[in-house]
Structure 1
Amino acid sequence: MNHLAYRFIFSLLCLYLPIICLSQKVKQPPEKSVWKNIDSLRIAEIEMGKSKFTPFIAPSYTPEMKFLFSAGGLFTFTNDKKNPLLTRSSIPFSVGISSNGSFQLSVRANLYSKGDKVRQVGEFWIKDMPDNYWGVGYSNGRNREQDRNTTGYHRLWWRFYDKIIYQYKTNYFVGVAVDLNKTEASDLNPLMEDDPFILRDGTEIRNSGIGGVFQFDSRDLAVNAYKGMLLDVSFIIYGGLLGGENHFQVLEIDYRQYKKVSPLRRVLAWQVKAKTTFSKAPWTELAQLGSPFDLRGYYWGRYRDESMLFGLLEYRHMFQRKTPNKQGKLESRSGFAAWTGLGAVGQEFYNLRGKWLPNIGVGYRLEVQPRMNLRIDFGLGVKSNALYFSFNEAF
């Protein structure tokens, strides 16, 4: 890991730690003896605005990292004592080491302040791993055999992404997004050394971009919505500002809808997302499928091209208890989710015929904090599958 990665870790801590520290100045809950059980205490502490941390240690399996052993947690807090439950900020994070020698660090933040007038969504990733590159286009991803001499290489990658938006009217937001990232590819296989995109863009690629964001968001809770919709449109221009070396643009359109299908906690959710790049984006920044947040089960980055489109339909079901708990409630902390989806990559959106990739999966949900779930998903793709451990829903 080079010194620039360490500088960005330091920048990330400088960005989020002041917010975390400020959140500690909240009213303390009553003595534990007042509450009948641990679950009552847990809910009472959150309702009174106390910060909470839920740790986890778990194995997982993905096609790109094989068996991954991760440790991390979910940290939540609020700066709004009048509405501490529904506007709680969340920072899930994890650090993992895998059976193929990979290292991964991920931090994802959803922060709310000024009575939900200001929102901040941030991500920070580091991956140091043996990886595979099939080339650009659906045909390469589908037909090229995975092997050390055809797809294998080593990748060191980090990314810092931050989006800050302001609510100027009920449910309407505008703001800015910043994206800084770098990829270092080494130990290339013979096919990669002759790949036209590698020859054009190189193996050490630094990008920096800044752009605008428009959002309509009527969801009742962003990280686990029961109802409402989201329309997010962003356009980022990459160039020499902030140390970038490549000039290109990226347009993303993300539509999500949520509908409660019963008075209980049972929700039908769907998402359609499109991404397209302009002006010869480098091979590392082309639209990709297979992350833990879209077509779960595919190798992340196997399918890449100038444009990407996918759709997901997911049913989420939280169980009911047969008998009330000590609080007199029938709501269980366990549940499940099942989804199906379809995605494609290509040069243009209007030419995706014959390039579609199906996806199905099922997952377990455990409510570790009110409306905050531990997510365990198993997804299936074409000749591919993956098991994910994470916090909050995929979308």
Structure 2
Amino acid sequence: MKLITIRNVILFALIIFNFQWVQGQNLEKIAEFFTFYPNKKAHQKDSTLYLQKFIAAPVMTYSPETNLAIGTGAKYLFKFNGSGEETRASNIPMSIRYTLNNQFIFYSGFEVFTNQEKWVIEGNLLFQNYPRLFYGIGRDSPKENELEYNYYQFLFEPIFLKQMFAKYLFIGAGIRYNTISNVAFEEEDAIAVGPDNITGFNGSTSSGVEAAILYDSRNNILNAENGWYIEATYGVYGKALGGTHAFQLTRFDVRHFLGLSESGQDILGFQLLGSFSSGDVPFNELALLGGNEIMRGYREGRYVDRHLMAGQMEYRRSFGDSRWGAVAFVGAGDVANTVSNFKLSNFRPNYGAGIRFKLDKTENLNLRFDYGFGQSSNYFYFTIAEAF
């Protein structure tokens, strides 16, 4: 067994032991200490109002890209006044983390529903100083080409969608601004791999508009038990809008969740993800294979190219009234320079299993412990919320 595997197993065992101990010390009281209710008095006067929650607490996560990360996490769950059961709870998560790889990360991926879900406002806000490993472009980039480079990234991507034509169907548009700066790497490594020949490797700014369509019938945003999530975006980026490169991005994300038992303890989830680019695409807008959400078992960015296709299936099992659950997952994916180069025989497989610990039974929010395996790699992941 590799050293990295032994270390991950030990870390996994320590975390499981710690949460088993916490459960015995009355998790409800601990969780309540970190939970604030902005409209508690109003809810006491009018029980039809949704009891808003703002949860802020120390967080610890682990992934191969970051190593151990420690910081503060917050999550704001709310509904606007006048919303009833027909409106799902809006979710604004925020996290600030510092990692053992000397990375600083601030991130918020938000999804807000207005009254009766007439509008959805979703998007991403990210600032990070992020060392990353680079192996070259293409599905056959050799591992011996590995080099580490550091960069700063600021991403702002709000999308506004209006419910149209049918329930759960939203159509809209937004903007996307993504800038990469202060790229630094070892000179000898740069000479060996030749990143100066890669468009935008030394920094870029993507500025443009996106059209989007969304169908979202999931019963729960954080951890769905049934329903569909189908989103497609098309973005046009150019120099006239303040960018450094002119290109287009097309992305889609399809998810489906099925309940396999009347008790709701057995869930089957599917996801199909695609990213396709054209034009003068800068390096940091290329598609990345791997990560803690899809293709677990591969380091994020291990394979990079213009196009990505990947899919996964996950079986989720909860154990009665306890806070514990388990999952098993399998998937496949690949990157390619042209769409015609995708071949099913070339798709790289991944598989793995994990354990879940429910932090919030009302919102169905889990801590996630996953171990994923790729063709020649395996990684442990510890974070909050499901992979998809």
In structure 2, what is the equivalent of residue 163 of structure 1?
Answer: 159
In structure 1, what is the equivalent of residue 206 of structure 2?
Answer: 207
3-state DSSP class of the match of 1:253? strand
User: Which runs of structure 2 are paired with 1:218-237 in the superposition (5 Å)?
Assistant: 218-237=217-236
| Cα distance in 2 between the residues matched to 1:85 and 1:28 | 20
Aligned mate of 1:173, from 165, 170, 173: 170
User: Which residue type is aligned with residue 236 of structure 2?
Assistant: I
Contact 1:206–1:243 (CA under 8 A) maintained in structure 2: yes
Greater shift, 338-347 or 186-195, is seen at: 186-195
| Shift in Å, 1:30 | 4.0
In structure 1, what is the equivalent of residue 3 of structure 2?
Answer: none
| Cα distance in 2 between the residues matched to 1:374 and 1:73 | 14
User: Which residue type is aligned with residue 187 of structure 1?
Assistant: F
In structure 2, what is the equivalent of residue 61 of structure 1?
Answer: 62
Contact 1:176–1:210 (CA under 8 A) maintained in structure 2: yes
Percent identity of the aligned residues? 23
| Shift in Å, 1:291 | 3.0
User: Which residue type is aligned with residue 171 of structure 1?
Assistant: Y
1:84-134: CA deviation from partner (whole Å, max 9, x where unpaired): 685111111211111121111111111000310100112111221332211
RMSD, matched Cα: 2.6
In structure 2, what is the equivalent of residue 121 of structure 1?
Answer: 122
User: Which runs of structure 2 are paired with 1:28-67 in the superposition (5 Å)?
Assistant: 28-30=42-44, 48-67=49-68
Name the CA shift for 1:176/1:360 in 2 (closer, same or farther; >3 Å): same
| Shift in Å, 1:26 | 7.3
3-state DSSP class of the match of 1:145? helix
1:70-89: CA deviation from partner (whole Å, max 9, x where unpaired): 32122111104442685111
3-state DSSP class of the match of 1:190? helix
In structure 1, what is the equivalent of residue 387 of structure 2?
Answer: 394
Name the CA shift for 1:174/1:197 in 2 (closer, same or farther; >3 Å): farther
| Shift in Å, 1:245 | 1.3
In structure 1, what is the equivalent of residue 347 of structure 2?
Answer: 356
| Shift in Å, 1:55 | 2.9
User: Which runs of structure 2 are paired with 1:88-167 in the superposition (5 Å)?
Assistant: 88-140=89-141, 143-145=142-144, 150-167=146-163
Contact 1:78–1:88 (CA under 8 A) maintained in structure 2: yes
Aligned mate of 2:335, from 323, 345, 359: 345
Please give the TM-score of this superposition, normalised by the length of structure 1.
Answer: 0.79
| Shift in Å, 1:282 | 0.9
3-state DSSP class of the match of 1:158? strand
Structure 2: 5+ residue stretches without partners: 1-36
Structure 1: 5+ residue stretches without partners: 1-22, 32-43, 322-331
Name the CA shift for 1:200/1:367 in 2 (closer, same or farther; >3 Å): closer
Contact 1:314–1:338 (CA under 8 A) maintained in structure 2: yes
Contact 1:344–1:356 (CA under 8 A) maintained in structure 2: yes
| Cα distance in 2 between the residues matched to 1:348 and 1:372 | 40
Please give the TM-score of this superposition, normalised by the length of structure 2.
Answer: 0.81
Name the CA shift for 1:355/1:67 in 2 (closer, same or farther; >3 Å): farther
| Cα distance in 1 between the residues matched to 2:202 and 2:327 | 40
3-state DSSP class of the match of 1:138? coil
